[in-house]
Copies of this chain bind each other. A is one copy, B any other.
Amino acid sequence: MKKAELDTPALVVDLDRLERNIERMKALIAGTGAALRPHVKTHKSPHVARLQIAAGARGVCCAKLAEAQAMADGGIKDLFVTTPVAGEAKLRRAVELARRARLSVVADDEAAIRALSQAAQAGGVGMAVVVEVNVGQDRCGVPPGPQAARLAQLVEKSPGLRFAGLQGYHGRLQGIPAFEPRRAEVRAALDRLMLSAEPLRRHGIECGVLTGGGTGSVALDLELGGLTELQPGSYVYMDSSYGKLAWDARGTPIPFEQSLTILSSVVSRPVKERAVLDVGWKSASADSGPPAVLGLAGAVFEFAGDEHGTLRGIDAMNLRPGDRVELVPSHCDTTVNLYDRIVACRGDEIVDLWPVAARGRSQ
C-alpha cells in the first residue's frame, strides 16, 4: 500500500530519516565517555526504543510509570522514570515494575523516599533512586547545594533502595533557537548540578550517574562536560520547534532530520483564499503553536477547531477537496500522544504500522 492511499489524518514516520537520526546521535556520543539513555516520551513506542538500544543506548528514560510499564511489556529491561513517584497507587505500580525490569526512579523529598523504601521492602524488590536537582526549570528537584547529598544519604540507608545519582533536567532551555543564549543557559544548569555533586564526593558517596540534557543541548552537554548520561528524545522524530535550532555559533542547522509528519486532506476549498484541512487540535498538538506546512511555499496552517485547520497563503494553488497536504508537528511528543498508531514508510511505500503503545499512559 502507498502513503497516498492512507486515510487522513495519519501520523507518518519516514524510516530512512529515522534511522539516520539514530545513527547521527550514536556518532555524536561515541567516544565521549557519556552514555545515551534516550527519552521515550517522544515516541512512546517499544519498537523505536529497540532501535535505539540496538544502536548502543544503555536503556531508556520514561516520563511516567505507566509509560515504563508499556516499555517493559515491549521487552525493554532498563527503565529510568524521570518523574518523582508519590501516592499509594504509584508505589504499587513501581513495585510491580521492579519485579520485571531494572528500575530507577527519581526522588526529591524525604517522605517520598521513606515511602519508596517501605513499598520496596514490602514488595521484596530493589530500586535505584536518582535524586533530582532543580537546575533552573523550577519544576521538581531540591535546590542546588548540599540538600541532594542529605537525600542521597537517606537513600543509602533505606532498605530496598540504592542511590544511583543525580538528575538535572531543564526542558525550557532545550528550545532556545539561538546558540549563544542556549549555551549560556546550558552552562548555568550544569554548574547548578555540579553544586550538588560536589558535596556528595565530600561525604564519600559514590556519585553514580549525572543525568540530564536533551536534543537541544546534547552537543553543548558533550562540549561542556559533566553529564555522564544523556536523555535526548526528540531527535528521532524532530518537530518544527527543534527544526529552528542553530547547532553552533556559525548558525549551522541542527543535524537531525524531520522524520515525522501528519498527512492531511483538503476537505473544503470554499474560496481561493483558503482551504480547510481535516487536522485540528485532536490530531496536532497546539501547546507549541500550529504545525508547519511541508512543500507548499507560502502556505500557513491555522487551527480552526477540534477537527479542522485552515490553510492560507494558497490563493494561486490548485488545491481541491481530497488533495493531500503534509504537515510538520510543532511538538512531536504531544502530537504523537494523539495517535494510536504510526505509519512507517520508506519513501511512498508503507512498510509497517507501529502501535504507540504508551499513548495516554500518563499515570
Contact, CB under 8 Å: A63 / B139: no
* Cβ B8 vs Cβ A89 within 8 A: yes
The answer to whether B7 and A363 touch across the interface, beta carbons within 8 angstroms, is yes
- Give, as a whole number of angstroms, the nearest-CB distance from A5 to chain B: 7
| CB-based nearest B residue for A340 | B360
Q: What is the distance, in angstroms, from A353's C-beta to the closest C-beta of chain B? A: 14
Main secondary structure of the interface of A (DSSP, over half): loop
Bound Cα distance from A363 to B141, whole angstroms = 41
CB within 8 Å of B: which A331-363 residues: 331, 333-334, 337-340, 359-360, 362-363
In the bound complex, do residue A134 and residue B363 qualify as a contact, i.e. CB atoms below 8 Å apart? Answer: no
Question: Would you give the shortest CB distance from A268 to chain B, in whole angstroms?
Answer: 4
A residues in contact (CB < 8 Å) with B: 5-10, 41, 63-64, 83-90, 93, 108-109, 111-112, 115, 132, 134, 137-143, 171, 265-271, 274, 276, 278-283, 285-287, 303-308, 310, 320-322, 331, 333-334, 337-340, 359-360, 362-363
30 CB < 8 A contacts A-B: A5-B89, A7-B93, A7-B363, A8-B87, A8-B89, A8-B363, A41-B307, A63-B282, A63-B306, A83-B267, A84-B276, A86-B265, A86-B321, A87-B265, A108-B268, A109-B269, A109-B270, A111-B321, A112-B322, A137-B304, A139-B305, A140-B267, A140-B270, A140-B276, A143-B271, A282-B360, A306-B333, A307-B362, A339-B360, A359-B360
